[in-house]
């Protein structure tokens, strides 16, 4: 990486991180809302651990994977809304007049998502463990879990960037939120895949990549080290990241041509 | 030439309701979420959690689909009211509500009109939700009167939530008050026996759900659909009391809005 590119990324990353940290409205819901649902679901669905084949006797441990995914969904909104605001206020137009490279812009904008993802992952893990969840993979597993969480958060953040560049509207990015919640709800969020009895729901959840991301998180929490589950989880996150970055890069080119 | 007589409360209410319902039915941004979200919750809860009915101690003869239908029905009733509150807040932001306040001879009719609109919106949602549930094979063991009781509870919940949200909207007079309208309703709904009966909850959630009024509404509703009515007097007592209390809250909001000009 050239010095120029490094400087460009550094400047935009600093701006992105500061902007994220200065907006409690972005951070607080992303921390509180998933933890509230974790508390409610782990209390309400505790009885599910009595089902034959349920992988653990602690529903809290099973459900702790979900906040990591919900946090990633928030990053779609946060990364996308920030960029959309830059488009709406004309900041992107001003950047277009500088020799800034597209890769620097996109990478820099994702720095805020990385910081928020890290903050979320550490908070969810600490709260979960304090509440009594298990971490079968131990301390090293905790580190891998945080790395996976940040990777997934950044991967989903690229989708937010793509949406912002395509639409140029913060409102349109916000309207994507329910769409991503559909992916979460139609997954193995509440029960393991093998315990989903309704056939059509099982089929959809089996085809939904979110189910496998959840399984990767759960493997560290419940089973210990399952390299197959982890490889699948990281692989899916990397694929979303690659596709998201490619789509965002193309949308950026189109957006800059328009301006 | 005699001056035109000022419109009565009923005429004001009907005019406000007509505009709100017209906006709801002709704007996909309002109509689609109102229809899709309850269906989505119903599908994901009833479909994804059906194995919960195999948990030892879970005894609900009509099945898990009917068990979840009652929750989603009451949830859609509550959120129908909250979304109407969003509409009121938007009317204040755009200045339209001020024109209402200037033009209406009976200002209580404005609130009544919003409440009527919320109810009509809810009926549209319930029609779609019920149709989908029946097509999906939901069992209804209750009699006609019991099913009527279930929808009666939903009407009261809708009215109560509308009055709550209207009170907030007329105090804040901005869509920024949205979370304040929405979050308490979300909280009270989900701190109830959503996935399993109260008897299968344990720990803090059992303690909270035991004193949560939503629990009585859910239990009564589930009793109606299973043909085994339970806690009916308590549920209807709450269902009638809450809208009355929140109507007083909404009236206070209307006074604040009037004072603000």
pLDDT band per the 50, 70, 90 thresholds, residue B3:
low
- Distance of CA B5 to CAs B11, B19, B104, B108, B113, Å? 12, 22, 12, 18, 20
Instruction: Give the H/E segment covering residue A113.
Output: helix A102-131
Of the residues B193, B195, B204, B207, the best mutation for testing chain A's interface (the one with the most A CB atoms within 10 Å of its CB) is B195
- DSSP E strand boundaries for chain B: none
pLDDT band per the 50, 70, 90 thresholds, residue B2:
low
- Residue pointed to by tokens 């009317």: B91
Q: Is residue B129 over pLDDT 90?
A: yes
Residues of A in Cβ contact (< 8 Å) with B33: 178
Asked if B51 and A191 come within 8 Å (Cβ–Cβ), the reply is: yes
Between A and B, how many CB-CB pairs are < 8 A? 78
Q: Is residue B96 over pLDDT 60?
A: yes
pLDDT digits (tens, 9 = 90+) for B162-199: 999 999 999 988 877 787 888 889 889 989 999 999 99
Exposed, middle or buried, B195 (CB in 10 Å: 0-12/13-18/19+)?
A: buried
In 3D space, the residue among B121, B117, B126, B187 whose CA is nearest the CA of residue B154 turns out to be: B126
Contact B222, B232 (CB under 8 A): no
Percent of chain A that is helix, strand, coil (3-state, to 5): 85, 0, 15
pLDDT digits (tens, 9 = 90+) for A196-230: 988 889 999 999 999 999 999 999 999 999 999 99
Tell me how many degrees the CA angle A167-A169-A171 measures, rounded to the nearest 5.
120
Q: Is residue A122 over pLDDT 90?
A: yes
What pLDDT is attached to residue A258? 56
- By the CB < 8 Å criterion, does A190 face chain B? yes
In 3D space, the residue among B152, B158, B151 whose CA is nearest the CA of residue B243 turns out to be: B158
In 3D space, the residue among B48, B39, B138 whose CA is nearest the CA of residue B79 turns out to be: B39
Among B50, B56, B202, the residue with its CB nearest the CB of A198 is B50
Contact B70, B149 (CB under 8 A): no
pTM above 0.90, yes or no: no
| Per-domain residue ranges of chain A | 3-258
Rg from Cα positions in chain A? 19
What pLDDT is attached to residue A81? 82
pLDDT band per the 50, 70, 90 thresholds, residue B6:
low
Mean predicted confidence (pLDDT) in B123-144: 95
Mean predicted confidence (pLDDT) in A24-39: 82
Asked if A51 and B54 come within 8 Å (Cβ–Cβ), the reply is: yes
DSSP-derived secondary structure letter, A223 = I
Q: Is residue B31 over pLDDT 90?
A: no
Q: Is residue B149 over pLDDT 80?
A: yes
Give the C-alpha separation, A246 to A127, whole Å: 35
């Amino acid at each position: 990486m050239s010095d120029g590119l490094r400087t460009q990324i550094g400047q935009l990353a600093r701006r992105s991180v500061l902007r994220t940290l200065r907006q409690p409205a972005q951070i607080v819901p992303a921390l509180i809302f998933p933890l509230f649902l974790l508390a409610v679901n782990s209390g309400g669905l505790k009885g599910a651990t009595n089902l034959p084949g349920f992988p653990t006797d602690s529903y809290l441990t099973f459900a702790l994977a979900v906040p990591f995914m919900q946090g990633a969904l928030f990053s779609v909104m946060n990364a996308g809304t920030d960029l959309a605001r830059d488009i709406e206020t004309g900041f992107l137009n001003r950047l277009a007049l500088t020799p800034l490279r597209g890769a620097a812009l996109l990478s820099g904008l994702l720095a805020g998502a990385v910081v928020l993802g890290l903050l979320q992952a550490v908070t969810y893990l600490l709260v979960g463990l304090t509440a009594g969840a298990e971490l079968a993979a131990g301390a090293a597993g905790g580190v891998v879990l945080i790395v996976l969480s940040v990777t997934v958060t950044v991967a989903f953040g690229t989708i937010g960037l793509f949406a912002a560049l395509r639409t140029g509207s913060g409102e349109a990015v916000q309207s994507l939120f329910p769409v991503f919640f559909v992916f979460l709800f139609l997954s193995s969020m509440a029960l393991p895949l093998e315990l989903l009895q309704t056939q059509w729901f099982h089929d959809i959840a089996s085809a939904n990549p979110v189910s496998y991301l959840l399984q990767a998180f759960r493997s560290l929490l419940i089973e210990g080290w399952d390299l197959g589950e982890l490889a699948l989880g990281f692989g899916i996150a990397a694929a979303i990241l690659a596709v998201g970055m490619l789509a965002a890069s193309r949308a950026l080119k189109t957006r800059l041509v328009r301006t | 030439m005699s001056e035109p007589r000022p419109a009565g409360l009923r005429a004001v209410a009907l005019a406000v309701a007509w505009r709100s319902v017209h906006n709801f039915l002709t704007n996909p941004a309002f109509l689609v979420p109102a229809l899709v979200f309850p269906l989505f919750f119903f599908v994901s809860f009833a479909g994804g959690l059906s194995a919960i009915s195999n948990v030892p101690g879970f005894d609900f003869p009509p099945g898990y689909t009917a068990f979840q239908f009652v929750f989603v029905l009451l949830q859609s009733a509550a959120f129908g009211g909250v979304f109407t509150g969003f509409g009121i807040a938007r009317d204040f932001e755009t200045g339209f509500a001020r024109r209402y306040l200037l033009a209406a001879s009976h200002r209580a009719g404005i609130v009544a009109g919003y409440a009527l609109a919320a109810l009509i919106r809810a009926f549209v949602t319930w029609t779609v939700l019920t149709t989908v549930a029946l097509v999906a094979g939901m069992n209804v063991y209750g009699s006609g009167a019991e099913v009527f009781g279930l929808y009666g509870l939903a009407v009261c919940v809708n009215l109560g939530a509308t009055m709550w949200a209207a009170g907030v909207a007329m105090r804040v007079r901005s869509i920024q008050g949205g979370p304040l309208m929405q979050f308490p309703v979300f909280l009270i709904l989900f701190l109830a026996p959503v996935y399993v009966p109260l008897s299968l909850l344990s720990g803090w959630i059992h303690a909270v759900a035991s004193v949560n009024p939503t629990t009585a509404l859910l239990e009564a509703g589930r009793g109606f659909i299973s043909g085994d009515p339970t806690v009916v007097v308590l549920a209807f007592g709450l269902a009638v009391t809450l809208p009355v209390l929140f109507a007083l809250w909404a009236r206070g909001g209307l006074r604040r809005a009037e004072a603000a000009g």
